[in-house]
Amino acid sequence: MYLQPRPGIAWPSPRLRELNDAVRALLGLDDDTAVIIRQFGCGQAGHPPRETVVAVLPMEGEPHRWVLHRPAEQITEHELRAALLGHGPR
């Protein structure tokens, strides 16, 4: 069954779906692990106006979270790999 969003609710952008798939592939996640990617406005001085948060919530074990200080549309595969594999969860 294919679910449609409720009226007035924005459907996730194709870029967020691409990032979700990339996170799953980079971390070798199974289907039981939730991956949530959201963009938020950031009001801190010296940070861009939008940042992207990646959360990985396994059924067993600890959740992980990474904050990339860029809009999702500007995150490259290299930056995503560096954040997830190079620096560990934040």
The Cα–Cα gap between 56 and 47 comes to 23
Residue 8 DSSP label: T
Predicted TM-score (pTM) of the model is 0.77
* 3 state SS for 16-62: HHHHHHHHHHHHCCCCCCEEEEEEEECCCCCCCCEEEEEEEECCCCC
- Whether 9 shows a pLDDT value over 70: the answer reads no
Q: Which helix (H) or strand (E) holds 68?
A: strand 64-68
pLDDT of residue 89: 47
Q: How confident is the model at residue 8 (pLDDT cuts 50, 70, 90)?
A: low
Total Cβ atoms within 10 A of residue 13: 13
Span 35-45, average pLDDT: 83
Q: Is the dihedral of CA 13, 79, 76, 22 positive or negative?
A: negative
In tens, the pLDDT along 48-80 reads 678 999 999 999 999 999 999 889 999 999 999
- Amino acid 8 reads G
